Structure 1
Amino acid sequence: MITLAPAVAEAVEAVRLHFAGHPVEVVTDGAGGVFVTVEEVPVGTAYTSSVTWLGFQISAAYPDADIYPHYTGVLTRADGQPHGPAIQQVPWQNRPAMQISRRSNRRDSGVDNVALKAERIRRWLADQ
């Protein structure tokens, strides 16, 4: 069994608290980090399904590493338009997914955390 660094364990707990009421699956990545999947995440009416899952990896280097990219279930825009360049369909954790590429270029590890980044991704999707 791999022991998680305190920062990774704290990040998982922050995600669980932020998404309270949503199932959260955590699977170790074999290198001291974890893969996290939050179920039943609302992403708004811009998509034919307004609820999906949100997944990401918290690496063992956290908090010194950005959480990037994020993944969701396959989303189709309700207006029929294609996704922009920051969204592409890929497999993730043995399931079809949309990769959301939203890097935090001005990330401050003392302020920004996993839960806040996940919420920013969710809001960005909802605003599309």
Structure 2
Amino acid sequence: MAELKAGVVATLETIRNHFPSHVITTRATATGGAHVIIEDVPLGPPYNQATTWVGFHLSDACPYDDTYPFYVRADLSRIDGAPLRCPPLHSTGQVFPADNSTTDTRDATMVSRRQRDQASFVFESPLSKLIKVLKWMLEQ
């Protein structure tokens, strides 16, 4: 595996500072990016589960690339029994990481929140995107 790129290292430090009490695991990719998993992120209503893990990929272009998609626990379900939003908003039956870089994967639900305005990538850090995704999930 390649050594983590400087932008990835800086982003990971920012994420660790924001989630100081959470276990955060990283696995370097061949290009200097990282697969990241944050454990025990609070959920609660509208979901049956109180917490979830959140997984995502930081590319070697980080922080100048969109952090997409995000993955959460495979058994995610709503308190009201309604199905999860259909793709591209939620996609069940996934695994993380999904790039075949490892056999150490987790069954997952993909939370697909792509940033369409490529000119704004520099303005939306991976941490701010993660916070937006979590907020969006709780507003569903």
For Structure 1 versus Structure 2, the TM-score category normalised by the shorter chain is: over 0.9
CA distance in 1, matches of 2:69, 2:80: 25
Deviations 1:89-109 (A, max 9, x none): 111131110101101123523
Report the TM-score, using the length of structure 2 for normalisation: 0.85
Deviations 1:33-87 (A, max 9, x none): 0000000101231111021000100010222210000000120111111111210
Q: Sequence identity of aligned pairs in percent?
A: 31
CA distance in 2, matches of 1:11, 1:67: 11
Q: Is contact 1:41–1:53 with CA below 8 Å preserved after alignment?
A: yes
The aligned residue for residue 77 of structure 1 is 78
* Root-mean-square deviation (Å): 1.4
Aligned match of 1:113 in 109, 125, 129? 125
The aligned residue for residue 63 of structure 2 is 63
CA distance in 1, matches of 2:42, 2:30: 30
The aligned residue for residue 88 of structure 1 is 91
Report the TM-score, using the length of structure 1 for normalisation: 0.92
The aligned residue for residue 29 of structure 1 is 29
Amino acid aligned to 1:101: S
Q: Is contact 2:7–2:61 with CA below 8 Å preserved after alignment?
A: no
Gaps of 5+ in 1: none
CA distance in 2, matches of 1:97, 1:87: 10
Aligned length: 128
CA distance in 2, matches of 1:106, 1:3: 30
Q: Is contact 1:14–1:114 with CA below 8 Å preserved after alignment?
A: no
